[in-house]
Amino acid sequence: MTTAQPSPTAPSATAPADGLDVRPSPLALLLLGRESDPASERGVECPGDLPAPSDPDLVERARAAKERLGEKVFVLGHHYQRDEVIQFADVTGDSFKLARDAAARPEAEYIVFCGVHFMAESADILTGDHQQVVLPDLAAGCSMADMATAEQVAECWDVLTEAGVAGTTVPVSYMNSSADIKAFTGRHGGTICTSSNARRALDWAFSQGEKVLFLPDQHLGRNTAVRDMGMSLKDCVVYNPHKPNGGLTAGQLRDARMILWRGHCSVHGRFSLDSVNDVRERVPGVNVLVHPECRHEVVEAADHVGSTEYIIRTLEAAPAGSKWAIGTELNLVRRLANRFAPEGKEVVFLDRTVCFCSTMNRIDLPHLVWTLESLADGRVVNRIQVDPETEKFAKLALEQMLALP
Ligand code: 13P
Ligand code: SF4
């Protein structure tokens, strides 16, 4: 569990004394981009002084606030962040690189995480107690991470226990999961993985047990097991947390090697086999390069598959004149298209329809300016803090990932 600590000046978000719940819904709060959702850590808390997006001085204000903070602040930026934000990142990376980088700056008092909530939680777990991790907009969650709750996963483990397979099952949880799920993983001797080390995580897990419970992205789990490790689709079953016993019989659980949680990324889920066929027609000779969160048939039809960092490295190494269709978030693809055009490398988006990650996009320049100026004035806002018990076990699972061969 995480506490997201808002600014000390924020109004307290409690139910009214008459007992009538007249609070606005979380959705309304998200749309307004203000105040907090008391029922969730993912409220938005920018009391009063969030700069207007039209302020022409935003870039200068961010620069000045960062300069005032100096070595005290370390800004991390995930590759899906907007250009206006990424220009202020001290380091950019995929979620694995950012987790390592966050841990490698013990002298920074404040870690400003321009990414999503689960990344900021992981940074809090991996950094020292003297460091404070800040997420510029608390509404920057991840819909995939929300698809596995602690209660659902505990219930799943009961189902596995009942079927007699829990003792031989090792949980492997994707980084895109809450700290609670990471703690579950640590408690049961498992590991975290990211899209850049999923294969190594599964190799390790199968050296520890006979089956893997893979949370929460069914696609990364299936793609790694089948495409990279040569398992068959029949080795995989999908556990649906919304059905009794996950929708599976004890026999199916006993026969399976990979028990995949029924979660997915709604951004990468938009790419289809048609997108691949269509781009191959539109751009003759194109290389299709996709993120492993894409559906299995998309990954099978692609030429290359890998994490955001892998996508960037592949384009860096590509020869001039080559053509690339990229299946991942649009901020990154657009940046890559602009970066590599002068080198004569053509980069296009895999799908014709726009595909931003709306929660990654929550972090914009006004929120970053508000965060940096508040910190420079000595006010810690939007702190992400994982409770000690959760942190202890989540850290075990994260450290297991960092120690993977
Ligand atoms: P990467 O680890 O490849 O950066 O992916 C993170 C993510 O959220 C992809 O949707
Ligand atoms: Fe989550 Fe998908 Fe956005 Fe990545 S792209 S942060 S998995 S919703």
- Token pair, residue 321, equals 């004149």
Task: State the pLDDT at residue 44.
Answer: 55
Q: Is the CB of 265 under 6 A from ligand 1?
A: yes
Higher pLDDT, 104 or 373: 373
Q: Is 357 annotated as a binding residue?
A: yes
Q: How confident is the model at residue 33 (pLDDT cuts 50, 70, 90)?
A: very low
Q: Which of 16-30, 104-118, 316-330 has the lowest mean pLDDT?
A: 16-30
Task: State the pLDDT at residue 360.
Answer: 95
Q: What are 380-391's pLDDT values in tens digits?
A: 999 999 999 999
Per-residue DSSP letter, 164:
T
Q: How confident is the model at residue 45 (pLDDT cuts 50, 70, 90)?
A: low
Residue 24 CA from chain centroid, whole number: 27
Contact 362, 114 (CB under 8 A): no
Partnered with residue 111 across adjacent β-strands are 74, 133
Q: How many angstroms is it from 7 CA to the middle of ligand 1?
A: 29
Q: Is 45 annotated as a binding residue?
A: no
Q: Which of 10-14, 142-146, 257-261, 301-305 has the lowest mean pLDDT?
A: 10-14
Instruction: Give residue 157's identity as a one-letter amino acid code.
Output: W
Q: Is the CB of 293 under 6 A from ligand 1?
A: yes
pTM summary value: 0.88
Q: How many angstroms is it from 10 CA to the middle of ligand 2?
A: 29
Model confidence at 11: pLDDT above 50: no
Model confidence at 6: pLDDT above 90: no
- Token pair, residue 307, equals 């994490």
Q: Is the CB of 92 under 6 A from ligand 1?
A: no
Q: How many angstroms is it from 9 CA to the middle of ligand 1?
A: 34
Model confidence at 222: pLDDT above 70: yes
Whether 63-141+360-386 and 268-356 share one fold: the answer is yes
Model confidence at 42: pLDDT above 90: no
Q: How many angstroms is it from 93 CA to the middle of ligand 2?
A: 15
Q: Is 127 annotated as a binding residue?
A: no
Q: Is the CB of 176 under 6 A from ligand 1?
A: yes
What average pLDDT does this structure show over 267-274? 95
Q: Is 38 helix (H, G, I), strand (E, B) or coil?
A: coil
Q: How confident is the model at residue 285 (pLDDT cuts 50, 70, 90)?
A: very high
Average pLDDT, the chain: 89
Task: State the pLDDT at residue 20.
Answer: 31
Task: State the pLDDT at residue 66.
Answer: 98
Task: State the pLDDT at residue 99.
Answer: 85
Q: How many angstroms is it from 175 CA to the middle of ligand 1?
A: 9
How far apart (Å, rounded) are the C-alpha atoms in residues 336 and 84? 15
Q: What are phi and psi of 290, to 5 degrees?
A: -130, 160
Q: Is the CB of 197 under 6 A from ligand 1?
A: no
Model confidence at 39: pLDDT above 50: no
Q: What are phi and psi of 88, to 5 degrees?
A: -100, 5
Residue 122 CA: which ligand is closest?
1
Q: Which atom of ligand 1 is nearest to the CA of 265?
A: 10
Task: State the pLDDT at residue 148.
Answer: 97
Task: State the pLDDT at residue 321.
Answer: 97
Q: Is the CB of 194 under 6 A from ligand 1?
A: yes
48: left (phi over 0), alpha (psi -120 to 50) or beta: left
Model confidence at 324: pLDDT above 80: yes
Q: Is 142 annotated as a binding residue?
A: yes
Which strands form 346-349's sheet, in the order they lie side by side? 304-305, 287-290, 323-327, 346-349
Q: Is the peptide bond before 216 cis (omega within 30 degrees of 0)?
A: yes
Residue with tokens 């089948």: 226
Q: Which of 79, 98, 267 to mutate to test the pocket of ligand 2 (most atoms within 8 A of CB)?
A: 267
Q: How many angstroms is it from 362 CA to the middle of ligand 2?
A: 12
Q: What are phi and psi of 183, to 5 degrees?
A: -65, -40
Q: Is 236 annotated as a binding residue?
A: no
**CATH code given to domain 63-141+360-386:** 3.40.50.10800
**CATH code given to domain 268-356:** 3.40.50.10800
How far apart (Å, rounded) are the C-alpha atoms in residues 95 and 114? 11
Q: Which of 99-108, 218-227, 296-305 has the lowest mean pLDDT?
A: 99-108
Model confidence at 304: pLDDT above 50: yes
Q: How many angstroms is it from 387 CA to the middle of ligand 1?
A: 25
Task: State the pLDDT at residue 179.
Answer: 97
Q: Is 292 annotated as a binding residue?
A: yes
Model confidence at 73: pLDDT above 60: yes
**Superfamily of domain 145-264 in the CATH hierarchy:** NadA-like (3.40.50.10800)
Model confidence at 273: pLDDT above 60: yes
- Ligand 2 atom 2 nearest Cα: 265
Please state the domain extents for the chain: 63-141+360-386, 145-264, 268-356
Q: Is 293 annotated as a binding residue?
A: yes
Q: What residue ranges in 79-235 does DSSP mark as E strands?
A: 91-93, 110-114, 132-134, 169-174, 191-193, 211-215
How far apart (Å, rounded) are the C-alpha atoms in residues 46 and 373? 12
What average pLDDT does this structure show over 306-326? 97
Model confidence at 23: pLDDT above 50: no
